[in-house]
Amino acid sequence: MPASLVVWILTALLIVGVLTQRWWEPRLEARGVPVRRWPWRWWLVGYPGTALRIVTTWRRLAYLNGLSVSKHPTSRVIGRDLVVQGQALKPKPPRLSWPVPTATGLTLRVLLHPGQTPAPFYAAARAMEHTWRVHSVRVTSPRRGQVVIDVTAADPLAGEVPSVRGPAHALLAADVGRYEDGAPWLIDLRRVPHWLVTGATQSGKSSLLAALVLALAPQKVALVGVDCKGGMELGLFGGRLSALAVDRTEAVGLLSRVADEIQARMRWCRTWGKRSVWELHDEQRPVPLVVIVDELAELYFHDGSRESRDEAEQCGTLLVRIAQLGAALGVHLVIAGQRVGSDIGPRVTALRAQLGGRVAHRVHDEASAEMTLGDINADAVITAQNITEDEQGVAVVATGGRWMRARSRPVSTAEAAEIGRSDPPVNPFLTQSDPVTFEKGGVAA
């Protein structure tokens, strides 16, 4: 489509939107109609204005950031070995597609000139944000010869995420908030078995754990907690937890029991000739088990005595074993802490390497963000450092090398009390107090 036609269409939409906002909106507001909450403001005012700014500034933006090529060669040879390189007199920017609107911004597709690579476009993303006056720009290259530019017009994570009950999800999938592109933030423990959640005090770690418990509570999933702060956080969920350890001595016992459960599930799978519990039939499969640890550092700090050091080392060993062996056996880890580095205690880095899902809330220093996201992406570390104190619950979520900002939804005291009154699954452990007989056809408890 010709650029001039695009400009005319966008200008017409913008004029209609401005007139509507100035004349029609006040009349409806006077009648009590909450039109300011309607999405039409973006579609008729925000989108045309942003798209028009993109189309009209694209040529100069491409020229200043080295994205254009010359229509004619600009180099000439003087003598035998001297080449003089000049500026392009007729710069030709890459072809820009029609700006396609989305719920939170718009999407553009750029066709690269022969010889161009996506690297200069990645570097120019910050310049695009300032030129187009938008919240963020993300550049990707899903196909050879093309670059896709995703523009987020305004911060979609501003304000709290509504606490609503959505549709039921698959087993071990929890809807805990929303991503910056408006999509639901789904923590799927079947796809990413173990998660690490970090952040400073009052950054939103406990809110995320509460949202996770709220989403998993209706499912047939056993939840066990380790909260060495006296159970002040996880203790709110009371009866829904199959077990709760409130100090390190209890944590050693609970984690030892989880490790024994893993061994029992190994024998159970071997009895049926399966490599994981997910290959078993529903009536044969043991209940999935999610271990939630709040404030990991409390498990490693010791007073210098031999007994205290031994407990801390035992906790570290048990957590690593659970992370290494639990995924195929339906045992999952969600670990939260302010810092998760080698300075806390032994085997922490080995544990962190096993936690594929990473969530970094607001941090006080670069090292804390680096511990969580440094092996994923350097840009994610910078983004985590830019989270402010006013953005409680906002975090950078990274899985499989990809990352995105997200915000967890708050859990009210009434919702926490409702969770606490619910009952956990019956006999979630194969390793009950009484001997367990492994016989084909069922598990005797």
Distance CA 21, CA 186 (A): 36
Distance CA 25, CA 33 (A): 9
pLDDT at 436: 34
Residue 166 lies in a domain: no
Kindly report, residue by residue over 156-181, the tens digit of the pLDDT: 787 666 655 555 578 899 999 988 87
pLDDT at 130: 93
- pLDDT band of 413, cuts 50, 70, 90: confident
pTM: 0.76
Q: What is the domain count for the chain?
A: 2
Structure token pair of residue 285: 């499969």
Average pLDDT over residues 347-368: 88
Distance CA 292, CA 235 (A): 12
- pLDDT band of 25, cuts 50, 70, 90: low
Query: Final residue of a domain: which of 119, 152, 185?
Result: 152
Query: Final residue of a domain: which of 152, 182, 205?
Result: 152
My answer on whether 100 and 216 are in the same domain is no
Residue 437 clears pLDDT 50, i.e. is over it: no
Residue 436 lies in a domain: yes
My answer on whether 394 and 250 are in the same domain is yes
My answer on whether 414 and 352 are in the same domain is yes
pLDDT at 444: 35
My answer on whether 203 and 289 are in the same domain is yes
My answer on whether 179 and 85 are in the same domain is no
The residue with greater pLDDT, 445 or 291, is 291
Q: Report whether 200 belongs to an annotated binding site.
A: yes
Distance CA 405, CA 396 (A): 4
Pairing relationship of beta strands 105-111 and 95-96 according to DSSP bridges: antiparallel
- How far apart, in Å, are the Cα atoms of 10 and each of 44, 100, 121, 153? 10, 12, 25, 16
> Domain range spanning residue 389?
173-444
My answer on whether 414 and 363 are in the same domain is yes
Kindly report, residue by residue over 218-245, the tens digit of the pLDDT: 999 999 999 988 888 888 888 889 999 9
What percent of the chain has a predicted confidence (pLDDT) above 90? 35
Task: Map tokens 């066709």 to a residue.
Answer: 111
Q: Report whether 46 belongs to an annotated binding site.
A: no
The residue with greater pLDDT, 165 or 431, is 431
My answer on whether 106 and 55 are in the same domain is yes
* Strand, helix or coil for residue 29: helix
Residue 270 clears pLDDT 80, i.e. is over it: yes
My answer on whether 224 and 111 are in the same domain is no
Residue 157 lies in a domain: no
Q: Report whether 349 belongs to an annotated binding site.
A: no
Distance CA 118, CA 106 (A): 19
My answer on whether 144 and 236 are in the same domain is no
Distance CA 280, CA 282 (A): 6
CATH number, domain of 346, equals 3.40.50.300
Rg (CA), the chain: 27
- pLDDT band of 441, cuts 50, 70, 90: very low
Q: Report whether 201 belongs to an annotated binding site.
A: yes
My answer on whether 377 and 432 are in the same domain is yes
Residue 161 lies in a domain: no
Q: Report whether 141 belongs to an annotated binding site.
A: no
pLDDT at 258: 94
Looking at the DSSP bridge assignments, the partners of residue 337 are: 198
Q: Report whether 199 belongs to an annotated binding site.
A: yes
My answer on whether 268 and 232 are in the same domain is yes
What percent of the chain has a predicted confidence (pLDDT) above 70? 81
Residue 88 clears pLDDT 70, i.e. is over it: no
Residue 274 lies in a domain: yes
pLDDT at 89: 61
Residue 268 lies in a domain: yes
* Beta carbons within 10 angstroms of residue 356's beta carbon: 17
Q: Report whether 57 belongs to an annotated binding site.
A: no
Residue 162 lies in a domain: no
My answer on whether 325 and 439 are in the same domain is yes
Residue 160 lies in a domain: no
Q: Report whether 86 belongs to an annotated binding site.
A: no
- pLDDT band of 75, cuts 50, 70, 90: low
